[in-house]
Amino acid sequence: MAHLRTLAVVTFSLLCAACSETPASCGAKVAAAFERLRTSDRPYRKETVFVVNDHQTFHEIVEFVPPDRMRQITNNGVPGYGRVETIRIGERAWSNEGERWSQWEPGLAENIYGVDTRSWPPAPAVPTDTAFECLGRVEFKGTTYIGYRQPLVKGVVRIVTDSGGRLNEKEEQEVLSRLYQMPQTLRTVLIDWPGMLPAYDIWAPENQLDNPKSSDHYTYPGAISIEAPAHYGFKR
């Protein structure tokens, strides 16, 4: 159908197939794990990798030390831009976009991250009614986790041509066939145990966890030190 430019809009509903537990109860367990991360007194590190396109990959590392210390290191994958590092300690923040640190204006950290330090750690909130499949034990990179998957198994397709016309039956079947052959991108959450804290939050084609479109990897080092840039002489 090279002669016809077609836009297909696919809206998927979240359904659970062949679950031993209800999607609601599995979703509540995922929500509880991320809430446990948000309220835990344990330092943690989150490494994010997001594939923008064939030539650009976004990388970010965020470290959090309760109750109010954070370090964020970002590289957007664009040649020549380098990395940006940000440190926040309570109401103060500093950033380094090259080779020099600068302190943020008063109030800017609260405006961006919020006054309540518990609201801005890099732990995404998951609504308790989010549908997830309970996968049980999942082996990933040599470690066993408890897995949950947010499936996309039913969809409604609307096909619109550039001229606003309709496809004939043969053309429509060809478009649908190509859509069905495209791998679906699913969200899989892997929980470490016995701590029951998030280990991975992955968006990847089905059965391709090692080839993700985006991935958040949570680790829990014994100690993370986050201090203000030395020449600012700030200690607390």
pLDDT value of position 98: 76
Strand-by-strand arrangement of the 214-219 sheet? 101-103, 92-96, 84-89, 69-75, 56-65, 44-53, 214-219, 197-205, 185-192, 143-150, 133-140
Q: What is the pTM of this model?
A: 0.74
pLDDT tens-place string over residues 118-151 = 556 556 678 878 889 999 999 999 999 999 998 6
pLDDT for position 197: 95
pLDDT of 102 strictly over 50: yes
pLDDT digits (tens, 9 = 90+) for 156-188: 555 555 555 566 777 777 766 665 565 678 999
The candidate with the shortest Cα–Cα distance to 106, out of 84, 86, 90, is 90
Taking domain 11-163+184-227, whether its CATH number is 2.60.120 is answered by: no
Q: Residue 19 — very low, low, confident or very high, per pLDDT cuts 50/70/90? A: very low
Residue 217 contacts residue 46 (beta carbons within 8 Å)? yes
